[in-house]
A = this chain, B = another copy of it.
Amino acid sequence: MLRLSKLTDYAIVILSFMAKEELQGHTAVEIASVTGIAVPTVSKILKLLVNAKILSSTRGAKGGYALARLSENITIAHVISALEGPIALTECSISQQGCEQASGCSIRGNWNLINQTIHNALASVTLADMVKPAPVPALAWKQEVLIPVASLYR
């Protein structure tokens, strides 16, 4: 489904929460309780975000995490690469020496274009955008069938 991993999904939820009080710090435990995600999992995610310089951390009592930059300067593309590595749809797009597929692959250049386009799309949305009130739902939404979340996340 071309989908993000759960961890990335969580990361964005966590960051959205933190973006609401930009300057304030939060502990892993606090974030876990607010978001409903298990503490060890939250820690794991926060650590990755710190490594990617998206969050800053202070250790020890009274420590915690805070955004390292303003939410306008944090893009979704950045968050995704922090959690999942470089954004690329195919293996052979990451390195270029890629595909030795006999005849099929004079395609690399074109894949590269697609990857670039997608990267741009993701880089054009910032955390600040995510926190803004959602635009009015399109008409189509209203006709959709409702499904309980439990069934989605198995």
Interface positions of A (Cβ within 8 A of B)? 1-4, 9, 12-14, 16-17, 34-36, 76, 80, 84-92, 94-114, 117-118, 121-122, 124-125, 129-138, 141, 144-149, 152-153
Contact A110-B125, Cβ < 8 Å, known A13-B105, A104-B14: yes
Contact of A1 (CB < 8 Å), options: B9, B85, B100, B102:
B85
The contact of A106 among B91, B133, B138, B146, by CB within 8 Å, is B133
Q: Write the chain B residue with the least CB distance to A102.
A: B36
Number of copies: 2
Separation of A3 and B118 alpha carbons in the complex (Å): 12
**C-alpha gap A101/B111 in the complex (Å):** 35
Residues of B within 8 A of A89 (CB): 2-4
Main SS at interface, chain A: loop
Is A110 a contact of B96 with CB atoms below 8 Å? Answer: no
Could you say which residues of chain B place their CB within 8 Å of the CB of A136?
Answer: 109
Q: Which of B113, B125, B138 contacts A125 (CB 8 A)?
A: B113
Would you list 18 pairs from A and B whose C-beta atoms are within 8 A, ordered by A residue? A1-B88, A2-B80, A2-B87, A3-B91, A4-B89, A12-B107, A34-B102, A97-B147, A97-B148, A107-B131, A109-B134, A110-B125, A110-B132, A110-B134, A114-B121, A114-B125, A117-B121, A117-B124
